[in-house]
Structure 1
């Protein structure tokens, strides 16, 4: 196995739609999946799409940590030729980061719920529904298959920036809100 270098924003493979996989059971694809898993583990990421490692195929791998999924972890999942279908019109906006945009973050609107289907590594059909963070990960990774990076989905580029700076700004805002709330609760009208 070999860990790949992750393509960064600006690399042409990240803006090119990926090709469907004819047979997910080939030794070449199995090797790709093993290398993608090693790369994901080495990076400390949650998900990875084949284009991010220089392979223009419709393949994603991801896992959902329990703390981001109401206490229930979703172990590593492989999706080949995934298809997503939004369930309803509800959208949520939350912070996202990406291994292809190291050190950056931004608030991205995504569908709150969706149905997904694709093929597993053994070629079998796999499908299910996702909501919350799980749905967000799927949309983020599948965007890579269509040549889309999360800043292209953002509606307010004022929330886009270096994660360290954004965290500092949010901490300052939270402190100010806490102080304001405390003052309001002390004298009843915030003066």
Structure 2
């Protein structure tokens, strides 16, 4: 009976995982590059592709926020080299862009964002990253910044073919790996102690929950 019970639990767990994964893929596939993004105090772009930085710079150039943090910049990458990848005016990069170089992963991005946002007194942040990475990023940043309002901005690239992921092994592997990390971020968000400032109101946008 014990074996049967364990087998039943394993099957139920597998079904729940599969349903959750399909819901996650459906959420990611529905992300589109927004025609407009609401205004905020600041923008954070999580490194991982030039498209993320270009989208963030475009938002800054449109006046959607006052300042931009590019989080997770390689210490060996110069400011000039990074600026050359963008399509925005050079003066904008010089005056209004900060580079974070300490983050090595998404958890690190969230901590780097927290320190930057709090040191500048910002209350609302546009989060710019790839569509498949956005749900996890929002969870991690919300855990570190429960007092901030997070506004998602999805970057949709040719690399991500979520609509027909089952035809593309690379996309399938990417989505499965990201979903697993996303589940871990949910656990951290719900069961870990946030590094919050007491007395402030939590207002964070979650995509794909």
Q: TM-score, normalised by structure 1?
A: 0.23
TM-score calculated relative to the size of structure 2: 0.22
Q: Which has the higher helix share?
A: 2
Of Structure 1 and Structure 2, the greater strand share is in 1
